[in-house]
Amino acid sequence: MNEGALPSLEYFVEQFLQEMHWQGVDQSIRQGCLTKLEDAKKWYQQQLDQGSNKPLELERKLTKKLQESIVFTGQFDKVEAVGNQGEVRVVDYKTGEPDKHIKALDKSEDLSSEECDDYLRQLVAYKLLYDRPHRGLRVTSGSLVFIDPIKTTVKKYGLEEGAFISKTIPITEAMVKQYEGLLQKVWSNVRKLEFARLPEYDDKKCDYCPYKGVCWR
């Protein structure tokens, strides 16, 4: 941010290793991180080759009070300018396989739908948090930057095995209004202690829920 350019690849690797040391990770986690380092280096070199917008803000935590006394909090990875009229884009860096999310995002329209990818809701949440009329800045899009390579080529979704992908999605006021409605509905159910079980068992959700034995005994 001070120099208007991305740091060198050498600096990136240095910071990667230093962070592991500061976090005091155990040997198994350290080895897992080192295994990921080669892919991370390839991804970062691509960023260097393509260039990157200068960040306005990095890793900033924001809180906003909504209706029904809901206190909503989130932390951004990066915010960058995309125009001269106060338009900004929120950038969120993601680890893990991008394939399933890219496919799901292509089908995500209704935020309340079970089919909607959580990453889309997250980008909408960032706009909800960030936009402040008096600041003259507004989020018009969100960008998901995947730092792990694509696993399988699928031309329909623009996926190419071994490549790195980012996806930018326009975020509108209408999406924010819908998301606020979802938050209020969930909070209302929490306050009324309404925690109805799903209509049927879901391996992806129920297997990891501490109340699985209560719902499905």
Note the pLDDT tens digit of each residue in 15-63: 999 999 999 989 999 999 999 999 999 999 999 999 888 899 999 999 9
Note the pLDDT tens digit of each residue in 179-196: 999 999 999 998 899 888
Phi first, then psi, for residue 122 (nearest 5°) are -65, -40
Q: How far is CA 43 from the centre of its chain?
A: 17
HEC per residue, 175-217: HHHHHHHHHHHHHHHHHCCCCCCCCCCCHHHHCCCCCHHHHCC
pTM, full prediction: 0.87
1 has pLDDT over 90: no
Please say whether the beta carbons of 169 and 142 come within 8 A. yes
pLDDT (mean) for 116-142: 90
Alpha-carbon distance 150 to 44, whole Å? 15
Alpha-carbon distance 127 to 173, whole Å? 9
Alpha-carbon distance 142 to 153, whole Å? 24
94 has pLDDT over 80: yes
68 has pLDDT over 80: no
Structure tokens at 122: 């997250």
